[in-house]
């Protein structure tokens, strides 16, 4: 489990800007689809939004020269993000202003090759997990799980995991606001069950039914 990408700057763009960039050509023929991506945050998962926002994302290690080859996205970031990073106390944030501050290379590696992954808001009154397409970049207001199987989805939704997470997580000052779920305290400590094949299939089926009823 991982926290999503932490931007530290206005990398989010509206729908019209994103769509304009997606059709904007570059001299060497590369597509801005490489760096203009759908993104999801905690509110998207909590509210079940289907219309996700957009974000400019140059990955984890592109140089400024490599990023500048995506002309429209780079110029946008240069105009809107660089000024906000110019006086940042952290040297890496100042000098690599075109990249997300904490781009989470480990998270990106873990979900590479998956068709989908599981996400949950770190702060919530009721613990909710949702499937996100692997093409969607999660931001830091999501805890994501690098698994694409229905069994894991079902276990995370179980009463046992809910009770464990509430006991190991951090209760907010106002009980009505919920509690904080973190990868280290709530997930890595959780004693996952070792089901029989029949039990695993039953949990997976229940998870698929839950998702279908909730999203259908």
- What are the DSSP calls for 150-202, one per residue? HHHHHHHTSHHHHHHHHHHSEEPSSGGG-EE--IIIIITT-------HHHHHH
The answer to whether 3 and 139 are in contact (CB under 8 A) is no
DSSP conformational letter for 90 = S
Q: Describe the chain by its helix, strand, coil percentages, rounded to 5.
A: 45, 15, 40
Q: What are phi and psi of 57, to 5 degrees?
A: -140, 110
Question: How confident is the prediction along the chain (216 residues), in pLDDT tens digits per residue?
Answer: 999 999 999 999 999 999 999 999 999 999 999 999 999 999 898 887 678 999 999 999 999 999 999 999 999 999 999 999 999 999 999 999 999 999 999 999 999 999 999 999 998 878 899 999 999 999 999 999 999 999 999 999 999 999 999 889 887 666 555 788 999 999 999 999 999 999 999 999 999 999 999 887
Residue linked to tokens 């276990």? 155
**What is the pTM for the complete model shown?**
0.90
**The pLDDT of residue 129:** 95
pLDDT one-digit tens code per residue, 172-183: 666 555 788 999
């Amino acid at each position: 489990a991982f926290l999503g990408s932490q931007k530290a700057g206005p990398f989010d763009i509206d729908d019209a800007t994103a769509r304009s960039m997606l059709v904007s050509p570059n001299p060497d023929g590369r597509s801005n689809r490489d760096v203009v991506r759908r993104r999801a945050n905690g509110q998207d998962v909590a509210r079940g939004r289907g219309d996700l926002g957009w974000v400019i994302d140059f990955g984890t290690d592109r140089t400024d020269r490599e990023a500048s080859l995506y002309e429209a996205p780079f110029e946008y970031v240069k105009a809107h993000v660089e000024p906000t990073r110019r006086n940042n106390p952290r040297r890496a944030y100042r000098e690599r202003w075109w990249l997300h501050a904490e781009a989470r290379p480990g998270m990106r590696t873990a979900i590479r090759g998956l068709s989908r992954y599981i996400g949950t808001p770190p702060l919530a009154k009721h613990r909710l997990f949702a499937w996100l397409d692997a093409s969607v970049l999660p931001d830091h207001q999501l805890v994501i799980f690098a698994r694409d199987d229905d069994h894991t989805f079902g276990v995370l939704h179980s009463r046992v995991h809910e009770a464990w997470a509430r006991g190991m997580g951090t209760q907010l000052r106002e009980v009505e606001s919920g509690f904080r779920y973190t990868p280290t305290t709530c997930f890595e400590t959780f004693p996952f069950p070792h089901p029989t094949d029949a039990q695993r299939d039953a949990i997976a089926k229940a998870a698929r039914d839950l998702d279908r009823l909730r999203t259908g």
